[in-house]
Structure 1
């Protein structure tokens, strides 16, 4: 059977549009009819290309996880319980999500209970690298440090900053802005803050 470039292109278009709509509205808010309207197709044609809405969501989420894994694979694969290794992982993780706002929004919806009946995705994609890093860190972390919470602190801080930005209190005319904002300068300030927080939580050898 030969590949059909036109069909493949339509499938990719549906997935791209679905990623945007799932990120904006969540799984529960984005109907197949809405996805079809946004791609100029009827719902039956969308289903013929990508399967059910659940199948489509699994594809979108799977691709998002794979994109993250590809971005940090080198750091995770070579991870050692040292600050150098942790620093590289923090930078790669932050840079990936800073450049992937749709995926940030997708995860925020999921963490708020969106598509709660579609389970098992985190076990497939999140657990393997999480366990690898956690097991490595336990060899160096102080006995009173909960490594699981320490790792999830990275996720919580990054998603929180990238989804809301920051409001500066002083001076009143802060050059980055006086209201909620997230400038490139803020991103670099946050990078330093993230590194400092993790140094304090996990004082690893250099």
Structure 2
């Protein structure tokens, strides 16, 4: 019988290879046979770990995002001012995505899919916890605004910077430090602080300095 450590290693190898292939070719462009060949196992062995491609794909997304989304969700639940929690969330997600270009490409492909059933499963299994925590955080900060649209705007702000990576260097004003995750994190944090602090000041008559 296969040892637990060996089984875990094989499963990890399958997931790692799948992230790369799904990012490069998309869900419909990758077959289970192709994945098996990439990992060096028989196709039947692949089904030992994952009963079908959709289950494998969900596991791949959870595997690729697990550390970042877990940390980001925990930060949004910390006992700190909501603006500070939002800043930490953005920094975590930018660092996670900057370190994983395959993951950025994988998310780009997923946004273009027309498979509503798979998208719904993906949201429920992978994205729901961090996103719902983000919605609650922005609701604290902007109770008079639509929290869903505000949360989507925050996510869009992060994603857009990263998706522009291939063309940023050709834009006027580009500097090498624009490629550093720290630069992007600080910029997004300052931008969000400016937006939300202005709204807070209008309600309380002063500006909060949180960082």
Matching of residue 61 in structure 1 with residue 61 in structure 2: yes
Matching of residue 183 in structure 1 with residue 202 in structure 2: no
Q: Residue in 2 aligned with 1:51? A: 51
Alignment of 1:72-111 (within 5 A): 72-78=72-78, 80-111=80-111
Q: Note closer, same or farther for the CA distance 1:102–1:77 as it changes in structure 2 (3 Å cut).
A: same
**1:64 deviation in Å?**
2.9
- Indicate which of 143, 164, 168 corresponds to 2:171: 168
* Structure 1, 193-202 or 53-62: larger mean CA deviation: 193-202
Structure 1: gaps (5+ residues): none
* Structure 1, 152-161 or 77-86: larger mean CA deviation: 77-86
Cα pair 1:104 1:163 within 8 Å, conserved: yes
Q: Distance in 2 between matches of 1:114 and 1:79?
A: 39
Normalising by structure 1, we get a TM-score of: 0.79
Cα pair 1:75 1:85 within 8 Å, conserved: yes
Between Structure 1 and Structure 2, how many residues are aligned? 196
Structure 2: gaps (5+ residues): 201-207
Q: Note closer, same or farther for the CA distance 1:2–1:49 as it changes in structure 2 (3 Å cut).
A: closer
Q: Residue in 2 aligned with 1:33? A: 33
SS of structure 1 residue aligned to 2:48:
helix
Q: Distance in 1 between matches of 2:163 and 2:122?
A: 22
Q: What RMSD in Å do the two structures reach over aligned CA positions? A: 2.7
Cα pair 1:81 1:136 within 8 Å, conserved: no
Q: Note closer, same or farther for the CA distance 1:50–1:134 as it changes in structure 2 (3 Å cut).
A: closer
Q: Residue in 2 aligned with 1:127? A: 128
Q: Note closer, same or farther for the CA distance 1:114–1:83 as it changes in structure 2 (3 Å cut).
A: same
Matching of residue 157 in structure 1 with residue 160 in structure 2: no
**1:114 deviation in Å?**
6.3
Deviations along 1:49-103, whole A, 9 cap, x unmatched?
Answer: 3221112112112223422222324312216553323222221221122122222
Q: Distance in 2 between matches of 1:55 and 1:70?
A: 20
Cα pair 2:17 2:38 within 8 Å, conserved: yes
Cα pair 2:73 2:133 within 8 Å, conserved: no
Hey, which of these two has a bigger chunk of helix by percent?
Answer: 2
Q: Distance in 2 between matches of 1:115 and 1:3?
A: 37
Q: Distance in 1 between matches of 2:92 and 2:75?
A: 8
Q: Note closer, same or farther for the CA distance 1:4–1:168 as it changes in structure 2 (3 Å cut).
A: same
* Structure 1, 18-27 or 96-105: larger mean CA deviation: 96-105
